[in-house]
Amino acid sequence: MSAANIFLFSNAIVVWTDGALYRSDGTLSSVGPKVGLMPHLSAALVTRGPALAVPFLTHFLSVRFATFDELVAGFGKATRTAAEIYAEAFAICEHGADFEAYVAGWPKDRPEPEVYRVSSLDFDDVQKLRSVTVAPGRPDIIAQLEAEYGHLGHAGLSLPEVGLRLLELQRERIRREQVPGGPEICGIGGFAQVTTITRELAQTQILKRWPDRIGERMGQEYEAVPEGATLQ
């Protein structure tokens, strides 16, 4: 249930991710990035699933292809191969070995950036996504964001305060099972990370650290909030 919010603009790709690595009961086990930079391809990879998917897939894909266009053409097949090679490592995750991967980058001969998604449930189904990807998403979160930032528009999504607020709303409101029959948990935490990719530059930074502690449930600051209320 990690956050993967990817916004495409004419001059940049902006990716928002959280940094929580956690157990099925919602307790934080460690923190780390969920985005992998591939600056030589003018691209970045985001995964939702086993923690090891980020470093393993980033390395595997970044050394296998010479351009973003090549990566897009071989994304599904190469990701399948990587999943087979690293199957034992991914299976260590107590949530299961399944994952989804997003790759965002700049094609050589097309003017706009692009983002693609593939899931380990079907490596043949590589999807080209639209300019706004919000995962996990829910209509009330988008409505709340629009209510707080009137006339937001697509350009408004480039504002750091908007991207950070979206992560906060996802962290506050979304609770889901990680394993069948398990508790509904907060799966977004650790820290808020924003990554920007242009044709010439890839950079990333931490904009906020949440008060989560190793061995404790994430998002406890919201448990005492009355239903319908929103923390600012």
What pLDDT, in 10s, does the model give residues 32-66?
A: 999 999 999 999 999 999 999 999 999 999 999 99
- Given this model, what pLDDT does residue 109 score? 94
Q: Give exposure, 69-85, as e/b (b: 16+ Cβ within 10 Å).
A: bebbeebbebbeebbee
- Given this model, what pLDDT does residue 44 score? 98
- Given this model, what pLDDT does residue 162 score? 96
And the tokens for 94? 């107590």
- Given this model, what pLDDT does residue 159 score? 92
- Given this model, what pLDDT does residue 176 score? 79
Q: Give the residue ranges of the chain where pLDDT is below 70.
A: 1, 224-232
- Given this model, what pLDDT does residue 231 score? 47
And the tokens for 217? 């449930």
Which CATH class for the 4-222 domain? alpha beta
